[in-house]
Amino acid sequence: MTGTPYVTLEAVTRQWGGKGGVRDVSLAVPEGAFVSILGPSGCGKSTLLRLISGLEAPDAGCVRIAGRDMTARPASDRGLSMVFQSYALFPHLSVRENILFGMRVRRVQRAEREAKLAQAVAMLGLEGLEGRKPAALSGGQRQRVALARAVVSGHPLCLMDEPLSNLDAKLRHSVRRDIKGLQRRLGLTVIYVTHDQTEAMSLSDQVVLMRDGAVEQVGSPRALYADPVSTFAAEFIGDPPMAIVEGAALGRPGALIGLRPEHLSPAASVPDLAGIVCEVEYMGAATHLIVDHPAARGLILSVPGHADWRPGQRIGLHLPQEHRVLFDAQTGKAKKDPQQDYGGDRRQTAPRDSRKAPQPHPSTD
């Protein structure tokens, strides 16, 4: 995504005793974009958000918001709102009072407060709940109150730190839609921290994947999925993730070869690779076949609908050349395969192999 940068980080570093935190991070967040900072626990994503918010000061580097150097400015001067994992609601105040609290502190006129309250309550489906205390609300309702408080602040930048982690799966899906709809309607610039790649992929215009305090890859969800820059990115993005096969098993010693589950299929004739089905997961629209092979990890086929394979059966696999992603075996970094002609943009999905797949042999159990 392109656009005028609203938040810019220039070689930002923050560490404690030379360990942890983030190091030499440079990043440009376009105005009006939804950008997720994604990564495993301890990778530095929450530290990065705190540096943007002003809750932490960098050891080195510069933080700019709306073109102004905010590196040494307090959080209150940065023109942003925050939504936290813990909701951060006052338990003794009602929904109405929680939403209005910040505006009262800023001495916003009563008429404006009431107008913004009514807009936020309607936008987030909180009508009829204004008089309740947080203890009388569900987790999803509490998070919507926190979102409403961010809306009435009127700030163009909103930072969100794992806001859905305390919700069950159904509520996460619902509130995720609330957040995305809110961002679009208000034209907010949102920076969203999460460890959940499904959240990042479904919400974001741009994803910042972090690893050990540094940025591993930045791009659209499609770019991260189709063109991972490393085996770390390949295996972190996707559900199921990309399978990684030792190149020697496919005649490419010194390399690692990655394939997405939807690009693998049972072989119609001579297989590229053969393994043993160790688990079968029926997911409704697809069945995942987890295959064991000594030269591969994460080898999972996604077969449409129901598949009659059983654990313990031997299966031959077709690994289409046009969908193989090549990585250096020593560094784990992606590299161009000189023997491969992708016929254009590798991100475009080629038609699935039209050869009829063999039926599994009946179980001998």
Q: Are residues 56 and 94 in the same domain?
A: yes
Q: Token pair for residue 242?
A: 């990309």
Q: Token pair for residue 321?
A: 């050349």
Q: Are residues 250 and 127 in the same domain?
A: no
- The 8 Å CB, 24+ separation contacts for 204-207 are 204/34, 204/35, 204/36, 205/1, 205/30, 205/33, 205/34, 205/35, 206/1, 206/29, 206/30, 206/33, 206/34, 206/35, 206/36, 207/35, 207/36, 207/38
CA–CA dist 258, 325 (Å, integer): 5
User: Residue 54: inside a domain, yes or no?
Assistant: yes
| Length of the chain (residues) | 365
Which CATH number covers residue 73? 3.40.50.300
Contact 190, 23 (CB under 8 A): no
Q: Are residues 123 and 211 in the same domain?
A: yes
State residue 356's pLDDT score: 39
Statement: residue 185 has pLDDT above 90: no
Q: Are residues 204 and 248 in the same domain?
A: no
Q: Are residues 174 and 59 in the same domain?
A: yes
CA–CA dist 15, 24 (Å, integer): 11
Reported as a single tens digit per residue, the pLDDT across 27-74 is 999 999 999 999 999 999 999 999 999 999 999 999 999 999 999 999
Q: Are residues 204 and 59 in the same domain?
A: yes
Q: Provide the domain count of the chain.
A: 2
Q: Are residues 145 and 250 in the same domain?
A: no
This prediction has a pTM of 0.85
Residue 162: how many CA atoms within 13 Å on its side-chain side?
14
User: Residue 347: inside a domain, yes or no?
Assistant: no
Give the residue numbers spanning the domain of 60. 5-226
State residue 130's pLDDT score: 92
User: Residue 169: inside a domain, yes or no?
Assistant: yes
Contact 103, 116 (CB under 8 A): yes
Query: Residue 144 is which amino acid?
Result: R
Q: How many helices (H) and strands (E) does the chain have?
A: 8, 19
User: Residue 176: inside a domain, yes or no?
Assistant: yes
State residue 350's pLDDT score: 35
Q: Token pair for residue 6?
A: 């609203």
CA–CA dist 39, 311 (Å, integer): 33
Reported as a single tens digit per residue, the pLDDT across 201-234 is 999 999 999 999 999 999 999 999 999 999 999 9
Tell which of 192, 226, 260 closes a domain: 226
Reported as a single tens digit per residue, the pLDDT across 84-110 is 887 788 999 999 999 998 888 888 888
User: Residue 322: inside a domain, yes or no?
Assistant: yes
Q: Are residues 201 and 254 in the same domain?
A: no
User: Residue 351: inside a domain, yes or no?
Assistant: no
